[in-house]
Amino acid sequence: MSLAPPLAPVLDKKQQKKERLKAQAIASGDCYIWAYVTYPIVITVIGLFSTLLDSFPDTTIAAIGMSFLIVDRQALKHREITPPHWGWIILGLPYIWKRCNILKKSKTPFWLATMTIVIQIAAMTISLTLLTTDYKIIKEQIPSIATELLQEPGTPAPYFGATCVKLSGFKDFSDGNLSCTLDNGERIFIDILTNEKGESYVMWSPYSETSKTSTDNITSTTANKTSPPQLR
């Protein structure tokens, strides 16, 4: 007489949930790590070709990247694997390195993440250098150009005849909020625009504390003038 196979133990809801999460974590594999590695590349591409991310603070973008590691760490726990210490999540690269060691897997994600960071740092350095050079040129040339524009007939008071004596700092320039303080105490926004031919020219508009985006404040009284060739 053959015996019936033993019945599988009945799991309670908590155990069922644990087993389900474990199965999902195993199925997910390394997807969260690869999401973390490719995330900076995606962000960089979006930033280059659109303004979609302009309204998002840098801290928010960084937090989204860290969330991939947080989810990955939870997935390792569900797989009953001791994950790297949560503190390594803040640094990113050490977390990936330790994870590869724990799982005894290839360190390809680590090296790709390292390469991505190096490229980002290099790109930021080049960009900052170019911006600094542009700002030096603009700081030398814009005051005289803005002053000349304010001499144009039709310039409203109190701007008519005023002299641009001081440009705002590098941060305002890099943020697109360049302004100029006039000798009569007033301030104006400065816009440097480029046409289809690659020629740069300057426009000004009254300064407004409520809206620090100069392109939103350009009025019909705004004058413009072709700038020197070296001004981009």
pLDDT tens across 75-129, in order?
A: 888 888 888 999 999 889 999 999 999 988 889 999 999 998 898 889 889 989 9
Alpha helix ranges (H) inside 150-232: 170-175
Q: What is the mean pLDDT of residues 35-51?
A: 85
Q: Is the peptide bond before 94 cis (omega within 30 degrees of 0)?
A: no
User: Which residue in the block uniquely carries the two structure tokens 């409203």?
Assistant: 156
Nearest one of 156, 159, 29, 35 to 103, comparing CA atoms = 29
- Cα distances from 160 to residues 148, 205, 206, 220, 223, in angstroms, run 10, 12, 12, 15, 11
What tens digit of pLDDT does each residue of 22-34 get?
666 566 668 889 9
